[in-house]
Structure 1
Amino acid sequence: MILHQASDDKLATEFFHRDYHDRGMLKWGGFYLSDHTSALAKMHAAERVEQAQPQQPLTEIGRELAAAWHAQQPVHLQLNILDDNQVITTVDGIVAGVNEDHIVLQLANDRFRYLTLTEIRWVAWVR
């Protein structure tokens, strides 16, 4: 009986060395609950919090956005909007259009976001 067990151990060892490929943590991905994933998302969002910049005057915001639109340069905006974690919302994109106190921002995923100048706290060109 001991000889039979030794041959089973050898067979199992060969199987794990030759045929079995462990997927590591991938096999545990399905066990996360939605509460866990949302808590992880909040934790990661809190790690990359951006410092709030001082409110720029509307004339300066308008001037910067118009110049970025003319040059077709990407901009980084801080909005006067807080997200669910009470963190200032930021948006990156290219100014696609300007109309009085409204702007159209083309985001990286080819979507558009419509904003009023009063929603914008601070603007800077991305160089």
Structure 2
Amino acid sequence: MSGPTLYVVLVVFGVVVGVASGLLGVGGGTLIVPFLTLAAGFSQHSAEATSLLVILPTAIVGSLVLRRRGVGDLGLALRFGTVGAVGSVLGALLALALPADTLRIVFAIFVGVVGLRLARDGIRGDRSAEPG
């Protein structure tokens, strides 16, 4: 896929990722990485690096919209984000050290486990407060 077709697909998929990020709170990586590897032919390493770059602006905009509605804990986010930034350095170095196939398997297992846990919790009923 290349040229105008790729551009249209990227724009449409970008909107889908943006909506999913704002609606579901997903960072986008669970959508972006599979799309880039399976549909756009990126290597696993390039897809993950590109995904992180894409997530940055979508997460900022989505979190600002939600924050203006009084949802979210800014102090916790800053503390967690600071520690997470340190962890992301270690994670990026580990990702570069792993073969692409191993990285893809680890990613698939992670997404699968998280998906199953979320589905289980959804079936049981979410007991957290709804935004107002």
Give the TM interval when normalised to the shorter protein.
Answer: under 0.3
Structure in which a larger fraction of residues adopt helix: 2
- Give the greater-gyration-radius structure (CA): 1
The TM-score with structure 2 as length reference comes to 0.25
Structure in which a larger fraction of residues adopt strand: 1
The TM-score with structure 1 as length reference comes to 0.26
